[in-house]
Amino acid sequence: MKRPTTFSVWIIVLTVTLVTALIPLDPYLSQAAQRLPASIVHFNSRITDFGRFRWMIYGSGGLAIVSLVVHRASLSAESAARARTAWRLFSYFFVTIAGASALVNLLKGLVGRARPELFAELGAYSLSPWTGNNLFQSFPSGHSAAVGSFFGAFAMLAPRFRPLFLAGALLIGVSRVIVGAHYPSDVAAGLLVGLWCAVMTAFLFARWNMLFRLDAAGWPQPKMLGEETRQV
């Protein structure tokens, strides 16, 4: 099988495995997390909204448009090349994050899981698909998908720092459990959805010879800055 298909299969297997393992523990871990010391809950409530799709999509999309305008307006070849590289970079983030947003919102509607705030009334496993009600959009976690795609994109672009970026995504994901917005299985699924989108978009850009190139094993590797800038 080709690399994208192989990776997708592994992500599906990992997601099913983690979600299956966490689902029985969801109510206990969720309640325990919300009973943590107030200082920890407060800290997590401050950082959790970093994982909003809106600022990521608008920010990367806006910067991509600005970079494209600068590229078109540049008089020197060097300035145009740098602006083109910036446009490709911000476009990569935009496509990755927007794709994750579309996919995770589709899954939210399809599953319709009740959020932890309805635990006392409905329990941890109540499903009401396609209600359009945010209270029934717990699985997967949108914030986790956002940071999974955002930090996943950074991890693809800077492989040396992958542990740091993945730790950042996990930190925001865990905060969603601590503030009572999601169950642990929601977070695991969201993070993996975001990561999958980051890798799939890297494959797509590599095929277009933008930012990435496929190595001998068929895996997308980031181009050197000079290599990308010199590309016509």
The Cα–Cα gap between 51 and 124 comes to 23
Domain that holds residue 33: 3-230
Q: Do residues 30 and 116 touch, judged by C-beta distance below 8 A? A: yes
Q: CB-based contacts of 96: which residues, under 8 Å, 6+ apart? A: 149, 150, 152, 153, 197, 198, 201
Give the three-state DSSP class for 123. coil
Q: Which residues of the chain have pLDDT under 70?
A: 1, 225-232
Q: What is the pLDDT of residue 230?
A: 56
How many other C-beta atoms lie within 10 A of the C-beta of residue 159? 10
Q: What angle do CA 99, 103, 109 make, to 5 degrees?
A: 150
Q: What is the pLDDT of residue 216?
A: 87
Q: What angle do CA 71, 77, 83 make, to 5 degrees?
A: 30
Note the Cα 42 to chain centre separation in Å. Answer: 24
What type of residue is 83?
A: A
Q: What is the pTM of this model?
A: 0.93
Q: How many domains does the chain have?
A: 1
What type of residue is 146?
A: A
Q: What angle do CA 43, 126, 128 make, to 5 degrees?
A: 105
Q: Do residues 64 and 87 touch, judged by C-beta distance below 8 A? A: yes
Q: What is the pLDDT of residue 196?
A: 98
Backbone angles phi and psi of 25, in degrees to 5: -95, -10
Q: Where are the beta strands (DSSP E) in the chain?
A: 212-214, 220-222
